[in-house]
Amino acid sequence: MQKEKPFSQACENNKAPILEKLTELFKRPGTILEIGTGTGQHAVHFASHLPHLVWQPTDHPQNVQISHAWINDSNLTNINAPIALNVLNGDWSGLPAIDGAFSANTAHIMAWEEVEAMFRGVAGALPKEGIFCLYGPFSYGGRHTSESNARFDLSLRTQAPHMGIRDMEDLKVLGETTGLVLAEDFEMPANNRFLVWRNTLSRRLR
């Protein structure tokens, strides 16, 4: 009997609107790095609809195996095997050369120092003018965009003080220190945002 695959209802809900944005942004062939792949539902959906791209899933070493079932079952040839990458102390130089990067619902799960490490690592791996798409809930000037985001933030911080919805002011400052400039900020369903960061510096890792 086939084992049930890990499943995220949120991924099912947000994969279509995210795909719409990725389709507009990643028009040219290239390799896209995904940080914090999770179940692999996103990787499979995006790679199957964007056959000109090679999708490179990664996740924290403790979670990287979670995506194997979805990716193996997909039989897609444009998804690479998932790579274990802890953004904080992982070996970014061991990744294949990338043309773009994507991450969904990770910034509020990571500790702030991990968010900083993710921006530094992505900026170092992207070519100049390469883009990093970051999806999730964010606040603006310390204000949440909805009551439900405020409740979600509180529940995250109660579970673990290092987690929490990140503020756009902090992310913009962080972006500037790493060479990533906010190019677009799209409103998405369910009080989420789709942030597009453009790399202004030349690739530094290789």
Note whether 193 binds ligand SAM by CB under 6 A: no
**Shortest Cβ distance from residue 1 to ligand SAM (Å)?**
26
From candidates 56, 80, 105, 178, binder to ligand SAM by CB under 6 A: 105
Instruction: Give the CA distances from residue 193 to residues 29, 76, 173, in Å, rounded to whole numbers and listed in that order.
Output: 25, 28, 18
Contacts of residue 130, defined as CB under 8 A and 6 or more positions apart, other chains included, come to 98, 99, 100, 101, 198, 199
Q: Which stretch binds ligand SAM (CB under 6 A): 25-33, 81-89, 160-168, 187-195?
A: 81-89
Contacts of 188 (CB under 8 A, 6+ apart): 14, 17, 18, 21, 135, 194
CB closer to ligand SAM, 35 vs 101? 35
Q: What track of x and - describes contact with ligand SAM for positions 112 through 131 (by CB under 6 A)?
A: --x-----------------
Per the CB < 8 A criterion, the answer to whether 135 and 143 are in contact is no
Binding residues for ligand SAM, rule: CB under 6 A, are: 8, 10-11, 35-38, 42, 59-60, 63, 85-88, 104-106, 109-110, 114
